[in-house]
Structure formats: structure tokens, C-alpha cells
Amino acid sequence: MDVMLVVDMQVGLREGAAKYDLLGVVGRINALGVAIRKRGGRVIFIQHAGGAGDTFEPGTPGWRFLPELRRAPDDMVVAKTLNDSFHETSLSDILADFGCDRLFITGWATDFCVDATVRRAVCSGRAVVPVADAHTLSDRPHLSAKAVIEHHNWVWRGLIAPGGIEVLPTHAILNGAR
């Protein structure tokens, strides 16, 4: 079964500098979610839970998912407190229960939570597919957001993964890339 993770696509990400192609990324995540569900797969939304006073403090406006995201009633939500979506969460058990064969990873921020999640996922033995054009961040002091995205897509292609890793753009996945 295919499973897609949507990492930290929450209202609080709108604070600070603009995120690279945010509406395009949301649109591609929505399209992938529809396709994966239609193929019998599942979508899991990862929700960062910050501490008291944090932009992502549970129950605050910043903690909520972006309203533009299309969520289905049977989509799951997994709360996390660190960059790594697997650390001290039920995510590994949920993926095992689903019989997840291929794990698509999308979301925010490319160089923090998405990267930490990709790196942890490759150790799981599952086929991992970071979606090349469905993750975002803002410009960094030393690199543009576009350069960071390109760099991480390049790095992820080179990871040694027991289940394999393939960085694919949304259109390839929607057109049946296996």
C-alpha cells in the first residue's frame, strides 16, 4: 500500500518569510492525496506540537492545518514534537499496520522536518519517495529556497536505503510512476 506523509503544513508556517511556491506545493499535495486515496492508499498528516507560547502550540491558530489542504475523513493525524516525524510517535506502528510498501513524503520545511523524516524513513526498509516538488521552505541566509530544495532532492537521490529511494516529481507519480 502507498502512504503519503504531509509534514507540518500548518498555519504557523505562514509566519516569517514567504515559503517557496506554497500554493503550488499545497495544490500538488492535494492532487497526490486524491490519487493515492483513489489507488487504495492512505494519507497521514504530521502535525508539529510546539511548547507553550510557540507558534505551533496545540490549540492555537498556528497549530491548525492550512485550510487549503484537502483532507479526507479517514486521513490520520500524527502529532510530533521534534523534526523527525518518527521520534516517539506512533508513525512506525501505523505504517506497519497499513502494510505500507511505498512512502511518499511531502511538506514543510525541506531542510528540517522533511529531511529528518526522509532520513529516518529510509532506515525502515520501505521504498521512500520524497516528492521533488511538494516540499517547501523560505529562503535561508546563505541559499535561496529553490537552491535548498534542489540540493535536498539531489542528496536524497544518493541516500543508501534498504527499501530503495526515488525522488519523483508530482506529475510522474500522477502518471503512474512505480
Predicted local distance difference test score (pLDDT) of residue 66:
98
The pair phi, psi for residue 95, each rounded to 5°, is -65, -40
- CB distance 11 to 63 below 8 Å: yes
- 42 within 8 A of 76, measured Cβ to Cβ: yes
Close Cβ partners of 27 (under 8 Å, ≥ 6 residues apart)? none
pTM of the model: 0.98
3-state secondary structure of 149: helix
Alpha carbon distances (Å) from 2 to 20, 27, 64? 27, 19, 25
29, 66, 113, 137: the active-site residue: 113
C-alpha cell at 22: 506554497
pLDDT of 178:
57
Give the three-state DSSP class for 81.
Answer: coil
What integer pLDDT is reported at residue 176 of this predicted model? Answer: 83
What domain range includes position 107?
2-174
Cell readout for 143 is: 541559499
Our answer to whether residue 123 is catalytic in this structure is: no
Number of structural domains found in the chain = 1
Q: What is the pLDDT of residue 177?
A: 62
The CATH number given to whatever domain includes residue 33 is 3.40.50.850
Question: Tens-digit pLDDT profile for the chain (178 aa)?
Answer: 999 999 999 999 999 999 999 999 999 999 999 999 999 999 999 999 999 999 999 999 999 999 999 999 999 999 999 999 999 999 999 999 999 999 999 999 999 999 999 999 999 999 999 999 999 999 999 999 999 999 999 999 999 999 999 999 999 999 986 5
